[in-house]
Amino acid sequence: MKNLNVEEFLLEAGARMPFSRDMSAYNGKPFQCACGSEHEFQSYMDYRNFAASGANAKMIVTCPRNPAFSTLVLTKYKFFVVFDRFVSLAGCKME
């Protein structure tokens, strides 16, 4: 995972989707956080959704222990239907 400043982090995220998606299907799935710990995803942590290719979703997730940390995660699927894992692309500490 890349550690970026806020401007680089938002550039890495790309184009923001104009609507929110229901991410509750991913609740309980682990992801590597920018704080250095692994957490279980909860849909309330989904701060913003961004455009991604195929069946994948890209979103900014806020750290449940320290809201100053944000992580850009990408969903990965097997065969376009079975959720496989989160991939943490980048992280930043909002100051």
Boundaries of domain holding 14: 2-93
Which of these, 1, 4, 2, lies nearest to 93 by C-alpha position? 4
pLDDT 10s digits, 9-54 = 989 988 887 777 778 888 999 999 999 999 999 988 876 666 666 6
pTM of the full structure: 0.86
Q: How many separate domains does the chain show?
A: 1
Q: How confident is the model over 66-94, as a mean pLDDT?
A: 92
End-to-end CA distance of the chain: 19
